[in-house]
Amino acid sequence: MDVEELLRRARALVGLEVSEVAASMGVDVGVATEGDAVRTKGTPGAILELALGATGGSTKVHDFPELEIELKTIPLDPRGVAIESTYVCTLSLADAEEQEWESSWVRAKLSRVLFVPLVGDDGIPWRSRRVGAPVLWSPTEAQESILRADFDDVVGLIGIGRIEDVTAHKGRWLQVRPKARHGGVRTLAWGAEGEAIATVPRGFYLRARFTSAILVDPAACPD
């Protein structure tokens, strides 16, 4: 598959409800997920991956390894505003000192993204959301320097052992938030005195105001 074929496939889904996409793949989402939003958070993303032919499963860097394209579904309200922030990837705490933007996982993921909007009023079940017009995005130079600055801020703090000073308030477009099944999970990090500490795993997220903006204008620089 080449990139044109991927875009054709994505455009062919525009206007369909997620449940219709699932049905066309032979996936039954009816009985198992009726009225259950909290227990099926990742399902719409998985359905779109199937429908667009994403390969590689779970141990990959990109959803489409040959194209180096990452697929992200974005829940939008009817005005086109993103309802949620977008998870990018896990932040490695143990070796933050050595991490650099150029070779980072988050940069690799964000270098080429196919955003697929799932449109519907806030609160409606994901099955009833409709596929919107896909946007294939790569950061402009201006955008990438902001993303890099956000990355450098948090990785710099973690590198000097100040992980607990990294809150979701930091970052203009790219923020860091907890990422774990529940509060009890802990991972290894380093404190200011070089001591090992156990803390909650973190992930990188794109703020909703950023994804909202680039879905309207891929070269936008909101705020």
Partner DNA sequence: TAGGATCCACTGGTGGATCCGT
Partner DNA sequence: ACGGATCCACCAGTGGATCCTA
- Using alpha carbons, list the distances in angstroms from residue 55 to 1, 60, 61, 69, 81: 11, 9, 11, 11, 29
Interaction between residue 41 and DNA (CB under 7 A): yes
Q: Which one of residues 31, 35, 38, 198 is an interface residue with DNA (CB under 7 A)?
A: 38
CB-nearer residue toward DNA: 59 or 103: 59
Contact 137, 218 (CB under 8 A): yes
Interaction between residue 187 and DNA (CB under 7 A): yes
Number of DSSP helices (H) and strands (E) in the chain, helices first: 7, 9
Mark the segment that binds DNA (CB under 7 A) among 5-13, 46-54, 95-103, 146-154. 46-54
Interaction between residue 197 and DNA (CB under 7 A): no
Contact 136, 114 (CB under 8 A): yes
Q: Which one of residues 6, 175, 190, 214 is an interface residue with DNA (CB under 7 A)?
A: 175
- Chain centroid to Cα 214, Å, comes to 14
Interaction between residue 213 and DNA (CB under 7 A): no
CB-nearer residue toward DNA: 6 or 49: 49
Q: Which one of residues 26, 181, 195, 196 is an interface residue with DNA (CB under 7 A)?
A: 181
CB of 95 to DNA, least distance (A): 11
Interaction between residue 168 and DNA (CB under 7 A): yes
